[in-house]
Amino acid sequence: MTTPILEIRNLHARIEEREILKGVNLIIPPGEVHAVMGRNGSGKSTLSYVLAGKEDYEITEGEVLLDGENLLEMDPAERAAAGLFLAFQYPIEIPGVATMTFLKAAINAQRKARGEGELSTPDFMRAVKTAGTELNVDTDMLKRPLNVGFSGGEKKRAEVLQMALLQPKMCILDETDSGLDIDALQVVSKGVNALRAANRSMLVITHYQRLLNHIVPDVVHVFSDGRIVESGDKDLALQLEAKGYADFDGAAA
């Protein structure tokens, strides 16, 4: 059996005294796109932060393997270099740092961590240009400070652009559809779909089904009260949309 890209076993995490993840189990084989759906406050975003290594959470139990490696032992930068990418629900502003400068710093930091040489400027420019064209990211946007004054659509396109350039193994998309109008949603989804590959997996976190019309998942999981309570194919998302989450709350009890 091939090694899953992501394997989460009985993951428990808390913030201060409050337990938020209460035993998450999830296996994502290479090339698959899994969606996690759940209502606000169910712990979906916490899952993404815990996987990326945000400091605020304490992991009390369980383990996570990224392509067979112990993810929880790594610091956030090491996780990134190992191929974990989180597209933020609310991308952070970095004043004064041109988007282009940030992209280059990120790529080269990851290459350095993996013992690879820096990307030459022409190669970097070519890569940015190619990825940028597909996402309607023009040179003007690349010159602006990262996320500062960006519209909702620009922020999400910049996230997907980073994902395209960094070529991660495992992409986590946290509420990527939030703040997007329908046109922007199409551009972003197209960008994400273009990155689907046999050796890359994705975890799409959302509480609306509409995103999944554009990024069609292989598996849908329902998240409730800190764990996965139901899994199924893409039709599960439609079922949820029709009936709401209430039916699944009982399963969590």
Partner 1 sequence: MADYDHIPTLKENIDRATVDSVLSLDVDKYKYGFETDIESDMAPKGLSEDTVRFISAKKNEPEWMLEWRLDAYRRFLTLTEPTWAKVHYPKIDLQDMYYYAAPKSTPAPKSLDEVDPALIAMYDKLGVPLREREILAGVERPNVAVDAVMDSVSVVTTFREELAKVGIIFCSIAEAIREHPELVKKYLASVVPVSDNYYATLNSAVFTDGSFVYIPKGVRCPMELSTYFRINEKKTGQFERTLIIAEADSYVSYLEGCTAPMRDENQLHAAVVELVALDNAEIKYSTVQNWYPGDKDGKGGIYNFVTKRGDCRGVNSKISWTQVETGSAITWKYPSCILRGDGSRGEFYSIAISNGHQQVDSGTKMIHLGKNTSSRIISKGIAAGFSDNTYRGQVSAHAKAKNARNFTQCDSLLIGDTCGAHTVPYIESRNGSAVFEHEATTSKISDDQMFYCQQRGLNEEEAVALIVNGFVRDVLQHLPMEFMVETQKLIAISLEGSVG
> Which token pair is 152?
């909702």
Beta bridge mates, 22: 12
Choose, by CB under 8 A, the member of 53, 191, 217, 226 that binds partner 1.
53
Residue 173 neighbours by CB distance under 10 Å: 28
- Nearer of residues 65 and 106 to partner 1, judged by Cβ: 106
Edge-to-edge strand order for the sheet containing 33-37?
84-87, 170-174, 201-206, 33-37, 219-224, 227-232
Question: Does residue 208 interact with partner 1 by CB under 8 A?
Answer: no
For 197-233, letters b (16+ CB in 10 Å) and e give: eeebbbbbbbbebebbebbebbbbbbbbbbbbbbeee
Residue 247 neighbours by CB distance under 10 Å: 12
Question: Does residue 88 interact with partner 1 by CB under 8 A?
Answer: yes
Question: Does residue 109 interact with partner 1 by CB under 8 A?
Answer: yes
Question: Does residue 152 interact with partner 1 by CB under 8 A?
Answer: no
Question: Does residue 149 interact with partner 1 by CB under 8 A?
Answer: no
- Nearer of residues 162 and 206 to partner 1, judged by Cβ: 162
Least distance to partner 1, CB of residue 67, Å: 16
Question: Does residue 127 interact with partner 1 by CB under 8 A?
Answer: no
Contact segment (CB under 8 A) with partner 1 among 88-96, 133-141, 182-190, 198-206 equals: 88-96
> Which token pair is 164?
């395209």
Choose, by CB under 8 A, the member of 162, 176, 206, 224 that binds partner 1.
162
Choose, by CB under 8 A, the member of 4, 38, 43, 91 that binds partner 1.
91
Q: Where are the alpha helices (DSSP H) in the chain?
A: 44-52, 76-81, 99-113, 121-134, 139-143, 152-166, 182-194, 210-214, 235-243, 246-252
Which positions lie near partner 1, rule CB under 8 A?
A: 52-55, 75-77, 79-81, 85-86, 88, 91-97, 101-102, 105-107, 109-110, 113, 145, 162, 166
